[in-house]
Structure 1
Amino acid sequence: MKHGSRRGPPPPRGPRRKYGGHTTPPPPPARRGARARRPPSPPRPAPPRAPDSVSALKPTNDGWEADVEVLEVERVPDTTSVMATYRVSLDKEGDLVAYERTRRYTRGQIDRRG
């Protein structure tokens, strides 16, 4: 017997793989232009988060303006968590009218502004 020769029948093979390694065919491609015919949806605002703290509050003619600190990404250790400052506008009843993120930072960061 030669070195490297086999005895008996070859080992059984699994099912023949078609379609790039899968046994099922890929889904049919989407029709051209089907997506383009839909009107674009407006961007969704980020869901409101509970403020961690309020760092500024002042009355305005239309209600209130406040700077609130919000936890955006919680990490371990806590000093590496990502915080953000949002400027929010409230009407006279205290309902949210508008908001914008003005700053993003890690919780352990020292404020060097000012």
Structure 2
Amino acid sequence: MRDEEETDADGGTTGHVRTKPGHKLKRLAPEEVIRRAGRQLHHLLGHELESVSALRRLDRGWEVDVEVVELERIPDTMSVLATYHVELDPRGTLVGYTRTRRYARGQIDTR
């Protein structure tokens, strides 16, 4: 049987994934979501996770904003970092990502 996301009485998703009849996949802990997002993004981009700036649980899965070092420079304050918005399904599988910002490490955000 293929994994299917469960729906509630109103037709919305419950956030649980049915793996076999009568069995549910437990919700992932936030720490595990962050690990999975970092590992999968590293596999695709080749950049290590530097930090996490946002984490949101949604009905359709998770959204995580992470910072990665894209280009190391000397001095370190001139290294180029990027923020990526990562989307994961309820099982923690990456379904999409977007680079939302690129900046020098020493740059202060004025927003």
TM-score, normalised by the number of residues in structure 1: 0.57
More strand by share: 2
Q: CA RMSD in A?
A: 1.1
Question: Which deviations, in whole Å up to 9, do the C-alpha atoms of 1:18-51 show, x marking residues without a partner?
Answer: xxxxxxxxxxxxxxxxxxxxxxxxxxxx625221
Q: Which runs of 5+ in 1 are unaligned?
A: 1-45
Instruction: Give, in whole Å, the separation in 2 of the partners of 1:96 and 1:56.
Output: 16
Q: Which runs of 5+ in 2 are unaligned?
A: 1-43
Instruction: Give, in whole Å, the separation in 2 of the partners of 1:47 and 1:67.
Output: 15
2:4 aligned partner: none
Moved over 6 A (4+): none
Equivalent position amino acid for 1:80 in 2 = M
Structure possessing the higher radius of gyration over alpha carbons: 1
2:59 to 51, 61, 77: 61
Find out whether 1:106 has 2:104 as its counterpart.
Answer: yes
More helix by share: 2
Task: Quote how far apart the aligned CAs of 1:78 are.
Answer: 0.2
Q: Alignment identity in percent?
A: 60
1:52 aligned partner: 50
Instruction: Give, in whole Å, the separation in 2 of the partners of 1:58 and 1:48.
Output: 24
SS at match of 2:49: coil
Equivalent position amino acid for 1:47 in 2 = L
Larger relative contact order (CA 8 Å, sep ≥ 6): 2
Aligned residues: 68
TM-score, normalised by the number of residues in structure 2: 0.58
